[in-house]
């Protein structure tokens, strides 16, 4: 899909928790084509590398980004004022493949929750959402998910809100009735979800997070090993993902063979060099 650098006005800014911000950006062109699970590369003044942030939701002509302050870049971004412009490159990556008619379980863990909102909205009443957080204070976007999906289940690690435990517990109870599972969050969570989906023969897509530089497939910044038939190859999270079929992910850290003559064409293809 064609991507573009564009300035967009920050039309609203909310602080959801002491470290999480909810930005609404006016951008009719992007709003018309953004797919659930895709991301944007945000330019932070004073920083050369852009920061990848997922599309959380699309509301008419407005794109919503929800991000956590983790380091200097997101801290600077959080200081942007309403009516100021933010430069983004978008839309980027391959998002979730969804069918509104399918009963789909959407699972978000921590800051992996925001991209599941626009994704779950595509399936409406057929969407069951399981969102997992550390504790009650970390819970975000519940009202939005309640409106967008058929059912919302919240889990917290310490039991201070919703079900006590991990997202995988409700998943085990509900998966028998699901056509598909889509998930975004920490790798150990994704690995366990993929295992449960495989045991029940339910197709599963996972959104991977990887440190990024260019965000458009032009550097080696975000390479991950994936299964391709009987071999392991590298693919780019930014261009080939961030959403991958869970069966393709090399969950046990398998790596491609060292670059022998036979592996070289594969590496060349993966890295566009
Ligand atoms: C496809 C994708 C979607 C994402 N969506 C969201 C989202 O919706 N909300 C949200 O809060 N966070 C999201 N992240 C994580 C977010 O990009 C990082 O938290 C952010 O880049 C950290 O930047 P920083 O300057 O604050 O931190 P620093 O650690 O100072 O960043 C230094 C450099 O490392 C890169 N970097 C650091 N951590 C990450 C990371 N986890 N992923 C990618 N690059 C990183 C930065 O872009 C920067 O170039 C997403 C990451 C990816 C890959
Ligand atoms: S970040 Fe450069 S190839 Fe993905």
Per-residue pLDDT tens, the chain, 273 aa: give them. Answer: 688 899 999 999 999 999 999 999 999 999 999 999 999 999 998 999 999 999 999 999 999 999 999 999 999 999 999 999 999 999 999 999 999 999 999 999 999 999 999 999 999 999 999 999 999 999 999 999 999 999 999 999 999 999 999 999 999 999 999 999 999 999 999 999 999 999 999 999 999 999 999 999 999 899 999 999 889 999 999 999 999 999 999 998 888 877 554 555 555 555 554
> Which residue ranges make up each domain of the chain?
4-92, 104-207, 223-271
Ligand 2 centre distance from Cα of residue 123 (Å): 30
Ligand 2 centre distance from Cα of residue 262 (Å): 24
Q: What per-residue confidence (pLDDT) applies to 265?
A: 54
**Ligand 1 atom 33: the closest Cα is on which residue?**
211
Q: What per-residue confidence (pLDDT) applies to 270?
A: 54
Ligand 2 centre distance from Cα of residue 235 (Å): 10
- d(CA 20, CA 18) in angstroms, rounded, equals 6
Choice from 18, 55, 185, 212 to test ligand 1 binding pocket (greatest atom count within 8 A of CB): 212
Assess whether the C-beta atom of 126 lies below 6 angstroms from ligand 1.
no
Q: What per-residue confidence (pLDDT) applies to 254?
A: 83
Number of the ligand 1 atom closest to the C-alpha atom of 55 = 8
Alpha-helical runs (H) found in the chain: 28-33, 72-78, 115-123, 142-148, 168-174, 187-199, 264-271
Q: What per-residue confidence (pLDDT) applies to 273?
A: 46
Contact 6, 25 (CB under 8 A): no
* C-alpha gyration radius of the chain: 18
Q: What per-residue confidence (pLDDT) applies to 2?
A: 82
Ligand 2 centre distance from Cα of residue 99 (Å): 29
Q: What per-residue confidence (pLDDT) applies to 269?
A: 58
Assess whether the C-beta atom of 70 lies below 6 angstroms from ligand 1.
yes
Query: What is the dotted CATH code of the domain comprising 104-207?
Result: 3.40.50.80
Q: Alpha carbon of 94 to those of 90, 97, 102, 111, 136: distances in Å? A: 12, 9, 20, 19, 32
Contact 150, 125 (CB under 8 A): yes
- pTM of the predicted model as reported, rounded to 2 decimal places: 0.93
Q: Which CATH class is domain 4-92?
A: mainly beta
> Could you identify the residue written with the tokens 């204070």?
137
Assess whether the C-beta atom of 111 lies below 6 angstroms from ligand 1.
yes
Q: What per-residue confidence (pLDDT) applies to 230?
A: 86
Assess whether the C-beta atom of 49 lies below 6 angstroms from ligand 1.
yes
């Amino acid at each position: 899909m064609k991507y573009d650098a564009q300035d967009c006005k920050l039309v609203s800014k909310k602080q959801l928790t002491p470290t999480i911000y909810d930005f609404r950006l006016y951008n009719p062109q992007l709003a018309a084509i953004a797919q659930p699970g895709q991301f944007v590369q945000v330019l932070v003044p004073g920083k050369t590398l852009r920061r990848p942030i997922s599309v959380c939701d699309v509301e008419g002509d407005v794109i919503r980004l929800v991000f956590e302050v983790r380091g200097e870049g997101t801290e600077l971004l959080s200081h942007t004022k309403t009516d100021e412009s933010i430069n983004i490159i978008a839309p980027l990556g391959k998002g979730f493949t969804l069918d509104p008619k399918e009963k789909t379980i959407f699972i978000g863990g921590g800051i992996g929750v925001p991209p599941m909102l626009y994704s779950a909205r595509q399936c409406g009443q057929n969407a069951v959402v399981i969102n997992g957080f550390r504790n009650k204070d970390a819970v975000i976007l519940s009202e939005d998910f309640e409106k967008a999906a058929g059912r919302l289940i919240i889990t917290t690690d310490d039991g201070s809100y919703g079900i006590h435990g991990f997202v995988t517990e409700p998943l085990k109870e509900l998966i028998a009735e699901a056509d598909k599972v889509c998930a975004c969050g920490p790798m150990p969570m994704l690995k366990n979800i993929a295992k449960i989906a495989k045991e029940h023969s339910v197709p599963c897509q996972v959104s991977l997070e990887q440190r990024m530089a260019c965000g458009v497939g032009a550097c080696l910044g975000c390479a991950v090993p994936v299964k391709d038939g009987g071999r392991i190859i590298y693919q780019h999270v930014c261009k080939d993902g961030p959403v991958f079929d869970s069966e393709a992910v090399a969950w046990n850290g398998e790596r491609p063979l060292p670059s022998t003559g036979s592996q070289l064409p594969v590496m060349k293809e993966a890295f566009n060099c």
